[in-house]
Amino acid sequence: MIKKILSLATFILSFTAAEVSAQCTPNVTITTPGIYPDSATNLAQGYVGTPYAEVIQVRIPVDTMFMGNLVPVTDFTIDSILGLPLTFSYACNPGTCIFPGGSNGCILISGNPTAQGTFNLTVYGRAHGTISGFPAEFPFLIDYYKIIINPPSGTGIQQNSNYVFNVSQNEPNPFSSFSDIHITSPMGGKAELKIYNMIGKEIYSGEYRINTGKNNIIHLDAKELESGVYIYTLKMGDRKFTKRMIISKN
C-alpha cells in the first residue's frame, strides 16, 4: 500500500527554472500529472555567489488506481524539504503546501550558495484520499533529487550576479505545434541546443545567441517532429541543462 502511495508521490512534481522571487506561479498549462523533469534530469546546478532558484511545478491527479479500485485523491501535503544548502529555503503556492487533487501548484527553492558541494534532498509529505468511503492518510518521501553547487565561475567573462544561468522546462509541455524555452543568464554568449529521440539519436542541433538577463526565448517548432517523448539539452560554456519534452499531435 505504501509502495503505491510512493509511486503516486513521485508522479506529482515537475521542475522548471525561475528567477528569484518571494513566490512562484503555478503553470496551469500542465494538465498531465507527472514529474518534469524526472530524476535523470534532476535539478539545475548552481555556483557559489550566484543567486539560485528552481521551481517545482505540481499537478495532482484527481484519482489513482489502488488494489484494482479507482481511489479519489483529496490532496498531497508537503511537510518539509531537508538537505537544502545553507541559506536556502522553500515556499509554496498555495502557501500551505497543500495541493488538492486535480490542482496545479508550485514550490520555489531559492538561495545564495555560500559553499560548494552536492546536496541530496529529501521531500517529506502525506497523501490523502478516500478508500471505500473512508478517509486515509499515508506518508511518503522523495529522496532522489540533488542540488550540485559548483565553485564560483572562473570563465573570465564579466557576469551579472543578479542572474543565475537557468533553463526552463519548455512551455507548454506536452505540445502539438509550438513551445518556448525561457533562459536566464548572468552573461552573454552562444548556447547550443540539441534534441534527441528516446533511443539517443540526435535529430536537431542549433546555436543561439544568449544575452545577459532573463527572458531569452528559444521557440520550438514541432512541424518536422513526430509525436513522442524527446530529450533536449542546452549547453553554454561549462553549463549544461537536460530536460524532457513531449510532442502530442493526436
Residue 156 lies in a domain: no
pLDDT at 6: 43
> Rounded to whole angstroms, how far apart are CA atoms 232 and 15?
15
Q: What percent of the chain has pLDDT over 70?
A: 83
| Residue range 193-204: mean pLDDT, rounded | 85
* One domain for residues 18 and 102: yes
CA angle, 100 then 101 then 102, to 5°: 110
Summarised one tens digit per residue, pLDDT across range 123-173 is 898 989 888 888 888 888 888 888 888 888 654 344 555 677 788 888 888
- pTM of the predicted model over 0.75: no
* Residue 92 falls inside a structural domain: yes
31 neighbors 133 (Cβ within 8 angstroms): no
Q: Are residues 99 and 38 in the same domain?
A: yes
Of 58, 118, 112, the C-alpha closest to 83 is 118
Look at residue 96 in the predicted model and tell me its pLDDT.
93
Segment 205-217 mean pLDDT: 78
The CATH number of the domain where 37 resides is what? 2.60.40
Overall domain count for the chain:
2
Cell 544561468 belongs to 165
Q: Grid coordinates representing 140? A: 511518503
In a domain, 160, yes or no: no
Same domain? For 208 and 115 the reply is no
Q: Is position 90 within any domain? A: yes
Q: In 10 A of CB 168, how many CB atoms?
A: 22
Q: Is the peptide bond before 37 cis (omega within 30 degrees of 0)?
A: yes
Residues 190, 129 share a domain = no
Residue 143 sits in the same domain as residue 193 = no
More confident residue, 12 or 67: 67
Q: What would the grid cell of residue 62 be?
A: 484527481
State the residue range of the domain holding 192.
Answer: 166-247
The reply to whether 138 and 170 lie within a common domain is: no
Question: Is there a single domain that holds both residue 204 and residue 234?
Answer: yes
Quote the pLDDT of residue 153: 63
